[in-house]
Structure 1
Amino acid sequence: MKRLYPDIGCYASGYLQTQDDIALYYELSGNPEGIPVLYIHGGPGAGLSPDYRRFFDGNRYRIIAFEQRGCGRSKPFGSTTNNTTQDTLSDITALRRHLGIERWILFGGSWGATLALLSAIEAPQTVLGLILRGVFLARQEDRDWFLGPDGGGAQLFPEYYEQFVAGIAAPVTPARICQWYQQQFDLPNEAQRLSALKRWYVWEERLSRLSLPPGTGDFTTHYPLPLVTCLAKLECHYLLNDCFLAENYILDNIHKISHLPGTIVHGRYDVICKARAAWQLHKAWQASNLFIVADAGHTTSEIGVALKLCRATRDMSRYVGETS
């Protein structure tokens, strides 16, 4: 009788201790003998959502997920010390070796898509394929799109943008926004600090979907403080430091993974990560397929995006099975 591996819950979890005393939380789900796939969450700072496994067939996949430095259950919580892009890429390598995996599929959305691309570029021989959602290439133009006065959010939601940048001296730029918020996050006054954290978090929430559910992006809505703190602090930290990457690094090095199969899913009306970035990536990446979802924004909670991702994991599992 065929054994079934449900795609809910995990069969193992633990902590991976790094050489610089970071404890990274990770968990394993699905079929222990299945195709290894690493789920890389976004943010920076978002942590693992409770339903991230829904994109995978638990019979076909060995689902691996971890919470990045400073995120969720990893320790220390909310810390920006020793927290750079290269640190996270080293963590991905350490996790792969710890689990004894030679090659795996990389699945990431938003900042997770950035990390998936960087990890593949760094070690293409360890990658079977990539599935990406809401591509963020971490260039100046991508940061401008999210935070700048001429970006997608500022142009489509000017009243929200005015609230987001209130108190920041002109001229308002992404760098000045990040500098101001980082100063607010370090204030000794708890009320001011928490207000700034929520302002950053609410800005992203308001941009996240084409159609917001009631209460989403509302300052009166209660959001879990750990999530608000982690996302705001780490996202600001990375954007302030240009994501610790040289300008246009991904497209300049995409030839290193031109042979790897990839699926890119992007919402047409994504005002956090611009659709043009997904198009540019697809044009430069020979073995990629691009699916623009017509009635979607940034998140996986939008049904068109979720459906394309489920189909992508199904098709990738078939492709890997045929070529292995």
Structure 2
Amino acid sequence: MNLDFYPSIEPFKTYMLDVDETHSIYVEECGNPNGEPIVFLHGGPGAGCGKKARRFFDPEYYHIILFDQRGCGRSKPFLSIKNNTIFHLVEDMEKIRKHIGIEKWLLFGGSFGSTLALTYTFHYPEKVKKLFLQGICLSNKSDLLWFFQNGLSEIYPDEFKKFKDFIPPEEQNNLLEAYYKRIHQNKDEVLMKKACKIWSDYELRVMESEMSPINSEIMPHDLSLALIETHYFYNKMHWNDDNYILNNLYKIENIPCSIAHGRLDFNCRLYSAFELVKYLKDFELVIVEGAGHSPFTEKMSKVLIKFLEEYKEKNER
């Protein structure tokens, strides 16, 4: 069983798919056009897809679909938050499925990608064969307070201090709101971009126990991640239910689900994965010792690829 990343591949098809009067989504298809269809759901929201995301999957077996979510990556218009909620992303996925002509597909998502995978499956359970999830993100109030206010601050106090000290003391009791105001509600573009950079750097530095390299320049990725995340998180994911994920799991309790979660994932707590599986009947949960949040580290990627290889071997027979 191959548990290493597959060699780099290029898409056999790329295109822009118009999904409404505002947004056009970048889509790419890789691997075997007649193979088992699987869609990769990136995180953030606002992160976009990279080339390495293609390499989890055996290109001879899987028909690999990747797309950049609204407002980020190669989708247009860049940085647009108009008509940009998780429910819009769900419908974008459905438009992609229909455009390609897929009857049922597999979903593969980590972090916010797991949130999106679950939300799509609540709406279209009959279109999902199986879920492959990593770094479960419930995206509720508890998750947001942990990451942006109290919790992660005790594990990465040095990095959290940089994140907090950008905000005046009188606003530090609600850092999410303070960053939202600076990114969305002011006309100072320099201040807005600086806030986006500090937000993005904080996320990157706490992703793994070994510090990730930080680019000193403000990159497009920094802007899309901060702008779209604050839009989603400040508006409580545009849900009317703080525990939307847990309260809807009864709809998909019988859909098979393989989950990998890093023991040292401080972005999305392992606790969330344990809460999730309480409501599932057909699941596998692997705690990846020594792994953090990123799906691309050696320890985590081997578990995720093992899930995909086992699925392939079971269904090739």
With the shorter chain as reference, the TM-score category is over 0.9
Deviation at 1:63, TM superposition (A): 0.2
Q: Cα deviation per residue 1:7-61 (whole Å; 9 max; x = unaligned)?
A: 6110001011013331000000000010000101000000001210111000110
The answer to whether the 8 A contact 1:55-1:306 is kept is yes
- Counterpart of 1:184? 182
Residue of structure 2 equivalent to 1:226 = 220
Q: Equivalent residue for 2:208? A: 209
Output the amino acid matched with 2:216: H
Displacement of 1:250: 1.3
How far, CA to CA, are the matches of 1:31 and 1:106 in structure 2? 17
- Structure 1 residues 224 and 190, CA, compared in 2 at 3 Å: closer, same or farther? closer
How far, CA to CA, are the matches of 1:268 and 1:135 in structure 2? Answer: 12
Equivalent residue, structure 1, for 2:3:
none
Is 1:7–1:29's contact at 8 Å kept on the other side of the alignment?
no
Within 5 Å, give how 1:271-286 maps onto structure 2. Answer: 271-286=266-281
State the match for 1:154 in structure 2.
153
- 2:108 corresponds to 1:83: no
Corresponding position: 1:315 with 2:310:
yes
Structure-2 change in CA distance of 1:33 and 1:201 (3 Å): same
Tell me, yes or no, if the aligned pair for 1:267 and 1:297 is still in contact at 8 Å.
Answer: yes
Matched residue pairs, number? 309
Give a deviation string over 1:241-280, Cα, whole Å, max 9, x none: 1111221111111121111111111111111101100111
Q: Describe the shift of the 1:171–1:6 C-alpha distance in structure 2 as closer, same or farther (beyond 3 A).
A: closer
**Counterparts of 1:7 and 1:100 in 2: how far apart (Å)?**
26
For structure 1, which segment, 246-255 or 36-45, has the greater mean C-alpha deviation from structure 2 after superposition?
A: 246-255
Partner of residue 263, structure 1: 258
Answering whether residue 14 of structure 2 is matched by residue 39 of structure 1, we say no
TM-score in terms of structure 2 length: 0.93
1:236 is the counterpart of 2:230? yes
CA contact (8 A) 1:145 1:271 kept: no
- Contact in 2 for aligned 1:110/1:135 (Cα 8 Å): yes
Counterpart secondary structure, 2:103: coil
* Distance change (3 Å), C-alpha of 1:317 and 1:147: same
Which residue is equivalent to 1:70?
71
Asked if 1 retains the 8 angstrom alpha-carbon contact of 2:172 and 2:178, the reply is no
TM-score (norm 1): 0.91
Q: Contact conserved, 2:111 with 2:135, CA < 8 A, in 1?
A: yes
Cα pair 2:7 2:55 within 8 Å, conserved: no
Partner letter of residue 145 of structure 2? Answer: D
Q: Distance in 2 between matches of 1:159 and 1:178?
A: 18
Contact 2:39 2:105 in 1 (8 A): yes
Q: Give matches, 1:45-60, under 5 Å.
A: 45-60=46-61
Offset from partner CA, 1:269-306 (integer Å, 9 cap, x none): 11110110011112221111001111011002321101
- Structure 2: segments with no counterpart, 5+ residues: 1-5
Q: What amino acid maps onto 1:178 in structure 2?
A: L
Map of 2:193 onto structure 1 = 194
**AA paired with 2:199?**
W
